[in-house]
Amino acid sequence: MAYHQKHLLSFVAFLLLILNLHVEHSMAKEVVPVGVVLDLNSTVGGVAERCMSMALSDFYAVNDDYNTRIALLTKDSGNDVIAAASAALDLMKNEEVHAIIGPQRSAQAKFVIELGRKAQVPIISFSATSPSLSPTQNPFFIRTALDDSAEVKAIAAIVKAYGWREIVLIYEDTDYGNGLIPYLMDAFEEIETRMPYRSAIPPFSNNSEIAKEIKKLNETNARIFLVHMTASLGSKLFVLANNAGMMREGYAWIITAGLSALVDPLGPKVKESMQGVLGLRPYIPRSKQLEDFKRRWKGIHLTSSKPNVKITGLNLFGLWAYDTAWALAMAVEKAGIMHSGFLKKNASKSNVDLAALGISETGQTLLDTILTTEFQGLSGRFHLIKGQLEPSAFEILNVIGKTERIIGYWTRQRGLSQELDDNNEVAYSISKDKLKQPIWPGDRTEQPPKLRIGVPVKQGFIEFLKVEWDPHTGKPIISGFSHDVFLAVLKALPFPLPYEFIPFMNKDRQSAGTYDELTYQIKLQKYDAVVGDTTIVANRSLYVDFTLPYSESGVSMVVLVNDEEKNNFWIFLKPLSLDLWLTTGAAFVITGVVIWVLEHRINSEFRGPRVQQLGTIFGFSFSTLVFAHSEKVLNNWSRFVMVIWFFVVLILTQSYTASLASMLTVQRLQPTFIDVKEIKNNSYFVGYQNNSYVEGLLIKQLKFDRSKLKPFSTYEEYHEALSKGTQKGGVAAVFDEIPYIKLFLAKYCSRYTMVGPIYKSDGFGFAFPLGSPLVPYISRAILNVTQDTNKLGAIERTYFSSRGSTNCEDPSASISSNIPSLSLHSFGGLFIITGTVSLISLLVCFFKFFSSHWPTLSNSNPESSFWSKLIEMAKHFDQRDSFIESFRST
């Protein structure tokens, strides 16, 4: 009995031992080795290592029943590409890791990704954000962060909202920095913003090298900068830029996510140098999980247990690292990864034997599982699209003091806004007004850069531009036609354009030079533009770009006029031309002769001594001019001739009277000079507007001697010089542009006139630097303003209505020195009619006379010759007609 009990107890003990061994085996966890390659002495690396450790602790605390446990095998890359590749190779060959988290930098990842592809080990990076590393082209590469190209549209939206047409890129000369350039170029091209200069700074540059590059940037006169670099290099850049005076008023700086995500951990000296900077970084939605994690993070000591590991404040990359470890832990469990090695073992003892690198058995399975893993992480929704994190909203920050102030948000669907709704969508469309007011460098609220606009200082012709001074502040007050047109143009632009007017003057507040010198200040980078009555001419276009003209122009000359017509002694002869006078006189005489022929035989008033008859012919004919003839006509043909002649005389006298009256009553001004050659040949002085380009035109194009030129600055000086004339120290003419001449003639229209040819110019325009992207925008806005008659008309009435309200003739009308007289051509038809009637009357008269006397004369003297008979006929014609006399007596 005792024997059987002893064996029974032994059997029970054996069963209990077997059961205990089975339970212990069932409770054992599968440890999955995962490699980590980071620069542990960097801000990102130190924080990321701690965050991944906390992520795995949190994950397995929540999921204690999971069968797998990830073991992180960390290697320090030491910020070296070769060291990172060597560490990854060692992890794959010797540790047979199932995945590698890292490496930290894009340049390092480029080599490690190739190793991962060869060994089919997933390479998971939360910080290699360069677009040149594409998960679609590298199947075993997973990016658990946002691609840098995702922020390009947001950057372009900010640039467009503030209306910046030029921006300078400062980037780190690495794969991280270079990878973004093509995307930026395309985005800026879409919004018509130029990138005239790009500054590439090597990652290991010392302060002197960076300072040298900053000096070059300062010399380019650039004011808007986009910085794309890591925190280590960016912190140096901003300190040196601040020392160079490029963080003051008038500058604007934008930093990309790589630097914006690390603004908070930067030191106080760096933050002080970054005041007013705008930054862009992915938006992290608030959550209870995130707030709890931040509280726990604050409780961690600022130094790691490892002396070479640097831990600072929490940053975006730390949150991405946390979510990466969490996602990998989920994927390992879901894929059922067991500790299995590589299909092909590496027998080599060398760490760099790439040819003998094996292939992971679980790599493809783990890769596919990670790509389909989704959850709500600390940084937001973890969801991979095409191997990388799904793009989300971006927040726009403004560095102010020791903190960052969020001034707005951007999403791909809606653009810019001050706030996000519950779905992380913006509420409004793109506009700078939908961003909160930033504080710009220099502690200013005015948007940079202010356009430094040079304006001319003038004594006269202030209708176009006038510079006055505020008696209280001493600041310039600008007004005038050109000024108001420019303001109207700014309102027509699709973007804001801050500006300030700077008078081109010396210490005495007088003009500092000519218009050529004023526009040349743009090339010297003292002004960003010139606004005023600046003429578009060829020589200036060599160093500036002009907009389209907003006013007509051209050069002509104005001269003194004399009204000599009323004092002309022979003005009464002026109404009719010489040929008309001679024809009219001949017509009077011929008409008198015709009437005498018709009336001589029957009318006693047309008979008598030859001298008396001759006087009758002239007296009768010319007395008809005033219808005062005393002789009566008896012949009906005479009456017919007289009726027609009276009609001709009536038209001639009325036309003559009207023309003479016009000459005597209407002012006829005659220019003293009408030809430039006459002025040059007589070596007369001529005037021009001081500081204008007209001086060069007179010397180079019209070949005037410089000693014969006199500069003037006001209307009054023009008037005084012209009124004196050439004999009293004045000038023969003043040459100026047409807009000024019109204003001058509007004031002195009765004394002067514009004569001679017009020397064309392209008009008044606004000047900008060569290649300025603002020129096409300003030109289009000028067209909108000048084609709006109401808008432009209101500006013109403001400055020119008082000048144009006088009763003056059009000053641009040319006055002829030869007043046209009435010519024979105008009355040729009348003379033909009266001549024809007179000829017919004479033919009828002679026909009757010959028909009644020729037969009798031929019968009485048949032997006489033809000419003797004609003489006899002439004697009979001179005799009185007895038949008509007896008929009248009866």
Nearest residue to 281 (alpha-carbon basis) of 310, 322, 319, 247: 319
Nearest residue to 712 (alpha-carbon basis) of 682, 733, 747, 688: 688
Where do we find the tokens 């004092």? 567
Q: Residue 596 burial (CB < 10 Å; 0-12/13-18/19+)?
A: buried
The three-state secondary structure class of 163 is coil
Mean pLDDT of 228-252: 91
- Give the residue with greater pLDDT, 666 vs 558: 558
Residues forming a β-bridge with 416: 410
- Give the residue with greater pLDDT, 8 vs 607: 607
Residue 247, H or E segment: none
Tokens in use for 146? 């946002």
What is the DSSP-derived secondary structure letter of residue 303?
B
Tokens in use for 33? 């080795």
| Per-residue pLDDT tens over the stretch 430-468 | 445 578 999 999 999 888 888 999 999 988 888 889 999
Backbone φ and ψ of 524, nearest 5°:
-80, 0
| Per-residue pLDDT tens over the stretch 860-877 | 566 555 556 566 555 555
Question: Confidence band (pLDDT; 50, 70, 90) for 60?
Answer: very high
| Per-residue pLDDT tens over the stretch 128-181 | 999 989 898 999 999 999 999 999 999 999 999 998 989 999 999 998 999 999
- Output the pLDDT for position 344: 59
Residue 89, H or E segment: helix 81-93
Residues in the chain: 890
Question: Confidence band (pLDDT; 50, 70, 90) for 98?
Answer: very high
- Output the pLDDT for position 211: 94
- Output the pLDDT for position 862: 61
Cα distance between residue 130 and residue 113, in whole Å = 13
- Output the pLDDT for position 428: 45
- Output the pLDDT for position 3: 47
| Per-residue pLDDT tens over the stretch 678-715 | 888 888 899 998 888 888 888 888 889 888 899 998 88
Sign of CA dihedral 279, 285, 291, 292: negative
Mean pLDDT of 407-417: 90
Mean pLDDT of the chain: 81
Q: Is the pLDDT of residue 240 over 90?
A: yes
Cα distance between residue 457 and residue 469, in whole Å = 12
Cα distance between residue 113 and residue 37, in whole Å = 12
- Output the pLDDT for position 291: 92
- Output the pLDDT for position 596: 72
| Per-residue pLDDT tens over the stretch 484-543 | 999 999 999 988 888 999 999 988 888 888 899 999 999 998 999 999 999 998 889 999
Residues forming a β-bridge with 764: 535, 551
Question: Confidence band (pLDDT; 50, 70, 90) for 849?
Answer: low
| Per-residue pLDDT tens over the stretch 25-38 | 445 678 999 999 99
Q: Residue 268 burial (CB < 10 Å; 0-12/13-18/19+)?
A: exposed
Output the CA angle 149-55-318, nearest 5 degrees: 35
Name 189's Cβ contacts closer than 8 Å, sequence gap at least 6.
Answer: none
- Give the residue with greater pLDDT, 827 vs 369: 369
| Per-residue pLDDT tens over the stretch 211-239 | 999 999 988 888 999 999 988 899 999 99
Backbone φ and ψ of 406, nearest 5°:
-80, 120
Q: For residues 38 and 72, is the Cβ–Cβ distance under 8 A? A: no
- Output the pLDDT for position 601: 64
Name 615's Cβ contacts closer than 8 Å, sequence gap at least 6.
Answer: none
Q: Which of 83-97, 298-312, 334-348, 670-684 has the lowest mean pLDDT?
A: 298-312
Mean pLDDT of 378-393: 90
CA distances from 716 to 29, 720, 723, 744 (A): 103, 6, 10, 9
- Output the pLDDT for position 333: 92
Mean pLDDT of 246-263: 90
Listed in sequence order, the DSSP H helices in 566-635 are 578-599, 610-623
Name 16's Cβ contacts closer than 8 Å, sequence gap at least 6.
Answer: none
Kindly state the percentage of the chain with pLDDT values over 90.
Answer: 36
Tokens in use for 84? 């990172």
Mean pLDDT of 351-377: 82
Q: Is the pLDDT of residue 354 over 50?
A: yes
- Output the pLDDT for position 304: 47
Q: Is the pLDDT of residue 23 over 50?
A: no
Nearest residue to 458 (alpha-carbon basis) of 143, 138, 165, 689: 689
Q: Which amino acid makes up residue 662? A: S
Nearest residue to 158 (alpha-carbon basis) of 228, 256, 300: 256
Kindly state the percentage of the chain with pLDDT values over 70.
Answer: 79
| Per-residue pLDDT tens over the stretch 556-576 | 888 888 765 555 667 667 777
Question: Confidence band (pLDDT; 50, 70, 90) for 626?
Answer: low
| DSSP one-letter string for 409-428 | EEETTTEEES-B-TTS-BSS
Question: Confidence band (pLDDT; 50, 70, 90) for 815?
Answer: very low
